[in-house]
Chains A and B, each alone.
Chain A
Amino acid sequence: MKERRIFLVLVLVFLAAYFIPFTRLNVQNALMEAFLMVQEYARQHVLLCLIPAFFIAGAIAVFISKESVIKLLGPKAKKTLAYGIASVSGTILAVCSCTVLPLFSGIYIRGAGIGPATTFLYSGPAINILAIILTAKVLGAKIGLARALGAVAFSVVIGLLMQLFFRREDEKKRSQNDFISSEGSKDDKPLWKTALFMATMIGILVFLNWAKADPSIKVWYLIYRIKWVLGGALLLVLAWMLVRWFKKDELKEWTFSTWVFAKQIFPLLLGGVMVAGFLLGRPGHEGIIPSSWVAQLVGGNSLWANLFASVAGAFMYFATLTEVPILQGLLGSGMGQGPALALLLAGPALSLPSMLVIRSVMGTKKTIVYILLVVVMATITGMIYGRMAG
């Protein structure tokens, strides 16, 4: 099987080398765009944004105990609380996109039931910390915030609707077993230490990436001017915490899990950036796909554009974080703000492969209803946001 795969790859590379018309100007141009886009990411987003974000994600995976959060989603959980927790807990539970599906089926089969489970499934991938940070940095704070808020608000709506539609089946199926608590014998730090540690790291990230503000807003502009000082001071605080509060093997685990994330995500992101650059070009430039096509399909804020963006997003597979460069390319080619948000909401939450897994967990009927809800919700949210953003 493996040999055959290598053979297939070789054949594809050969066919590409044989047939791609490299002498044509627009192909050369698109290739240049691919590399220029990679360079833009390397210069603007890697050192100050992505690398700190990976360290934060690594710290979340190692230092934050997920058991207490998961308990609140168990079978004995209060319903109202479970929805609230499910809609926001993606921030810390879904650092790695591959943990969303097991957690979802856990909440569905053994935990708080179909409502909170679908709530988690919808919001998890959208509000995981890496996704929010990169969206806000590359696409702007406004759409980053809209993505997080839209995902949280509409995940609750979707969860409640699913619960309403399938209430009866849900009651029958639930088993009352609790989860096993077995996160192991780690001696935990007091909560305030972990919280301060996390806050410091997020503070560093925020200050280092503080965007140049309009001088008329005094506070923001002042922060912009002293951002290096603020970031540096917090970095010193962080160093002090690391020396005082952490044992050596904890630090080792932390760097290791950061490295695992980086190793997993950087190659995918690099590929995503190159593909986005080749197909769509940097903002203001054109890739292989003419901007007019994009503008025609998903420009403006019509119902059709929003619907198209959410359907396309629902079926397309985005590897972790690659939705961001692709969206950047699309926006640069004339996509409207509303459809962009619709794509951001429907995209990472669903893909053809994840639909198959979801179907195996909750059956065809529920899966179809869920997909329809996601598409409809993403379209509506997109239209509202598109109108607000103008």
Chain B
Amino acid sequence: MEIRILGPGCPRCGEVERRTINALAELNVGADVQKVTDIKKIMEYKVFSTPGLVINGKVKSSGRIPSLEEIKRWIQEEQQS
């Protein structure tokens, strides 16, 4: 699984990363988690307001900090498909 966290490095983006890692740990799922801080790369995801969360190339949320439960649900959805 490939997870990208989009944001130029503000604390809100760091929080999304922290929650994502917690979600992965709680579900015991391995994934390639990377932060994307380059604005041009962020634009390629067509995400406009940061922080954004992208799982397997699909934009799951943008402009807000999703809850731990939401992130867990998205990870599980991606696992099944």
The number of chain A residues with a CB under 8 A from chain B is: 34
Q: Confirm or deny: A182 has a beta carbon within 8 angstroms of a beta carbon on chain B.
A: yes
**Partner pick for B70 among A70, A109, A184, A263, CB 8 A cutoff:** A184
Nearest to A108 among chain B residues (CB) is B43
A386, B63: Cα distance in complex, Å: 39
- Bitwise, A130-165 to B at CB < 8 A (1) or not (0) is 000000000000000000000000000000000000
- Chain A nearest CB from B38 CB (Å) reads 8
Q: Are A105 and B40 in contact (CB under 8 A)?
A: yes
**Residues of B close to A91: CB separation below 8 A:** none
Q: Are A264 and B46 in contact (CB under 8 A)?
A: no
**Residues of B close to A357: CB separation below 8 A:** 39
Q: Are A99 and B47 in contact (CB under 8 A)?
A: no
Nearest to A257 among chain B residues (CB) is B65
**Residues of A close to B15: CB separation below 8 A:** 260
Q: Given A105-B43, A264-B10, A361-B39, answer yes or no on A61-B48 (Cβ-Cβ < 8 Å).
A: no
**Residues of A close to B60: CB separation below 8 A:** 182, 184
Q: Are B46 and A184 in contact (CB under 8 A)?
A: no
A267, B62: Cα distance in complex, Å: 27
**Partner pick for B48 among A70, A253, A256, A257, CB 8 A cutoff:** A70
Q: Are A109 and B43 in contact (CB under 8 A)?
A: yes
**Residues of A close to B7: CB separation below 8 A:** 98, 102
- Which DSSP category, helix, strand, loop or mixed, fits chain A's interface? helix
From residue 350 to 388 of chain A, which have CB atoms closer than 8 A to chain B? 357, 360-361
- Chain B nearest CB from A241 CB (Å) reads 21
From residue 61 to 80 of chain B, which have CB atoms closer than 8 A to chain A? 61-67, 70
Q: Confirm or deny: A62 has a beta carbon within 8 angstroms of a beta carbon on chain B.
A: yes
Q: Confirm or deny: A34 has a beta carbon within 8 angstroms of a beta carbon on chain B.
A: no
* Interface residues of A, Cβ cutoff 8 Å to B: 61-62, 66-67, 70, 93, 96, 98-99, 101-103, 105-106, 109-111, 177, 179-180, 182-184, 186, 249, 253, 256-257, 260, 263-264, 357, 360-361
- Give the 10 A-B residue pairs with the shortest CB-CB distance, closest first: A98-B10, A106-B48, A184-B61, A264-B11, A180-B46, A182-B59, A102-B50, A179-B48, A105-B39, A66-B63
